[in-house]
Copies of this chain bind each other. A is one copy, B any other.
Amino acid sequence: MNEFELIAKLTHSLPTNKSVVVGAGDDCAVLDLGVADKLFLFKTDAVVEGVHFTKDTPPEKIGRKALARCLSDIAAMAGTPQHAVVTLGLPRDFDAAFVEKIYAGLAEVAHGHGVAIVGGETTTNPVILLNLALLGFAPRGKCVLRSGAEVGDAIFVTGELGGSLAGRHLDFEPRLAEARWLAEHFPPHAMIDLSDGLAGDLKHILAASKVGAELLTRSIPVSRAAKLAGKAGDTAKPALLAALTDGEDFELLFTVAAKDAVALLDAWKAKFPGTRLTCIGKITSGPGLALRDGRGVMPFTGAGYVHFATS
């Protein structure tokens, strides 16, 4: 059983109540707390030493990444983050100065996005673990789910993909402003942030929306890091496969009506000249994800990054 199968099984029949608009299964939960013009977004996520960072990772970057990952999930719903609570797991022999630097990295990102850190717990854990829970909001009617993709939609992705492990996974900027602008001007039918890899995360949209997709391989924006890694030797992953399957890009993947695609690209260039936006394919009736290249169309079966798997 892999990570996704386990989560699906665990979250299949969880207790709910009438204030839950969207429960487990999207980037954030969506809650109706009784505010006329807003819905609230609720998300939790952890980074763990040896999994999401190493013993050599500068502590500020650990704090930075932990919060930025959660912010990216708020972005995926076109939301605005507001409050965070922190759980920090520490080995018994922790170094207080190191821990203060983790918090400094956290605080810097929080400050930059207007997020209040309103609680901090510590506990003993064999390795450093930093869990964030984040509360945010979206204007009622502007929140974007994974489940709204429609056959014929154009599929877009921000930035360049693959090779994040070379450094970007510690330094990425969550696409909060971009997502809010999209929701305002070109409301996406479906959106997700790329944490498990383009192919894996697109499949989450396809499953939630009950559609398929066809990507044009030559249009997929491959990062320089993925290209460099692809030249590193015989055991290296080809750059295109890296762009399709490497995790932790933290870019936005979304679909809009095909008729709006050109206007979106023009408006985006004027608004976010420093950030690439690429149309990489279209939503089909499916099933599944297919790749089109010079030789034709073939189903893509490789998975994205999966955190663990059992037999």
Contact = CB atoms under 8 A, between A and B. Distances in A.
Interface of A: 1, 3, 6-7, 9-11, 13-17, 19-20, 22-24, 28-29, 31, 33-35, 38, 40, 42-48, 50-52, 82-83, 85-90, 92-94, 96, 99-100, 103, 107, 110-111, 114-127, 129, 131, 133, 135, 137, 307-308, 310
A76 B115 CA distance: 25
A277 to B, nearest CB: 29
Nearest to A96: B1
A20 B116 contact: yes
Contacts of A47: 123
Contact of A33 (B9, B35, B111, B117): B35
A111 B13 CA distance: 11
A85 B118 contact: no
Nearest to A109: B15
Contacts of A310: 93-94, 96
B308 A124 contact: yes
Contacts of A122: 3, 6-7, 10, 307
Given A20-B116, A122-B307, A126-B126, 19 more contacts: A1-B96, A10-B122, A14-B103, A17-B82, A19-B83, A20-B83, A22-B118, A23-B118, A31-B135, A33-B40, A42-B118, A42-B133, A44-B119, A46-B89, A48-B124, A50-B124, A92-B308, A94-B308, A133-B133
User: Which of A6, A47, A99 lies at the interface centre, i.e. has the most chain B CB atoms within 10 A of its CB?
Assistant: A6
18 contacts: A6-B99, A10-B99, A10-B122, A15-B107, A15-B116, A16-B116, A17-B82, A17-B83, A20-B83, A22-B118, A23-B116, A24-B120, A46-B123, A47-B123, A51-B123, A89-B129, A122-B307, A133-B133
Contacts of A51: 123-125
A99 B46 CA distance: 18
A23 B88 CA distance: 17
Most buried by B among A34, A83, A86, A118: A118
Contact of A17 (B34, B87, B114): B114
A100 B9 contact: yes
Contact of A120 (B10, B33, B40, B133): B10
Nearest to A1: B96
A29 B83 CA distance: 10
Given A14-B116, A23-B116, A131-B87, A121 B35 contact: no
A44 B307 contact: no
